[in-house]
Amino acid sequence: MRMILVGPPGAGKGTQAARLVDTYGIPHISTGDMLRAAVKEGTALGLAADDFMRKGLLVPDEVVIGMVIERIAKDDCAKGFMLDGFPRTQPQAAALDDALRAAGVSLDAVVLLEVDDALIVERITGRRSHVDTGEIYHLKFNPPPAGIEDKLVQRKDDTEEACVARLQKYHSETAPIVPFYGSLGILRRVDGVGAPDAVQARVQAALAG
Ligand code: ADP
Ligand code: ADP
């Protein structure tokens, strides 16, 4: 299964990906996670990305495209992968298409998690993750277990200001790539509002159908 999860910031892509990779036995490739790891390690790539990420802007295509194309060429992606947060621009979608075509493979599905802008800020500002495991929580919608308060971290870009910038980028750069996947007949639109279990059931039904 070669698939993409797309949707606005805070739509639940990371939450659903973590649940789905076990079912499909494919690696979860999150460009946000890869970039945050590079920032933490202080690599050249991380240094190039840090400022864009803090401001809620997109990291330049030339930085992200190389990183993903290299990653999906690895052995563990031979049977498939779940891309989360990539592609996010038209050039990224074109580069992915070229790379898959050159490898003689194609995408099976693109899942679009739909959540209204009005719900996004609350999801983003309440997001916390476990510093060691990366497990994603929400202070209200998916509260962390008691006793791990000192292990919870908030992303630097999960402020209301950066969230608004990210939503704008989503509408101007990312949403326009969706019709391309529609034209390939592999787009699956899924309502991302409701309990995570309910959303997961919808995604699985969409992938099965
Ligand atoms: P994305 O990867 O699309 O940015 P996340 O999976 O990190 O989104 O989810 C954003 C925030 O919303 C997290 O705090 C997460 O716990 C919460 N969340 C995820 N799915 C749902 C849902 N179905 N309903 C309410 N909150 C959710
Ligand atoms: P979200 O929860 O908003 O979906 P991600 O964790 O996927 O966030 O991404 C966080 C930030 O990393 C983005 O706001 C952007 O700065 C950068 N980023 C992640 N993926 C990409 C990409 N494919 N192209 C450009 N920038 C990206």
The predicted-structure confidence for 65-113, as pLDDT tens digits, reads as follows 999 999 999 999 999 999 999 999 999 999 999 999 999 999 999 999 9
pLDDT band at 16 (very low <50, low <70, confident <90, very high): very high
- Using left for φ > 0, alpha for ψ between -120 and 50, and beta otherwise, residue 35 falls in alpha
User: Is 155 tagged catalytic?
Assistant: yes
- Going 112 to 116 to 120 to 123, the CA torsion angle's sign is negative
What pLDDT does residue 22 have?
A: 85
pLDDT band at 114 (very low <50, low <70, confident <90, very high): very high
Instruction: State which ligand 2 atom lies nearest to the alpha carbon of 89.
Output: 24
Instruction: State which ligand 1 atom lies nearest to the alpha carbon of 196.
Output: 23
pLDDT band at 157 (very low <50, low <70, confident <90, very high): very high
What pLDDT does residue 120 have?
A: 97
CA of 85 to the centre of ligand 2 (A): 6
Instruction: Give percent of the chain above pLDDT 70.
Output: 100
State if residue 35 touches ligand 1 by the CB under 6 angstroms criterion: no
Could you give the CA distance from residue 38 to residue 118 in angstroms, rounded to a whole number?
31
| Widest pairwise Cα distance in the chain | 50
State if residue 136 touches ligand 1 by the CB under 6 angstroms criterion: yes
Instruction: State which ligand 2 atom lies nearest to the alpha carbon of 55.
Output: 16
User: Is 36 tagged catalytic?
Assistant: no
Could you give the CA distance from residue 75 to residue 93 in angstroms, rounded to a whole number?
22
The pLDDT of residue 8 is above 90 = yes
The pLDDT of residue 35 is above 80 = yes
Type of residue numbered 201: A
What pLDDT does residue 39 have?
A: 96
Could you give the CA distance from residue 178 to residue 189 in angstroms, rounded to a whole number?
10
pTM of the model: 0.96
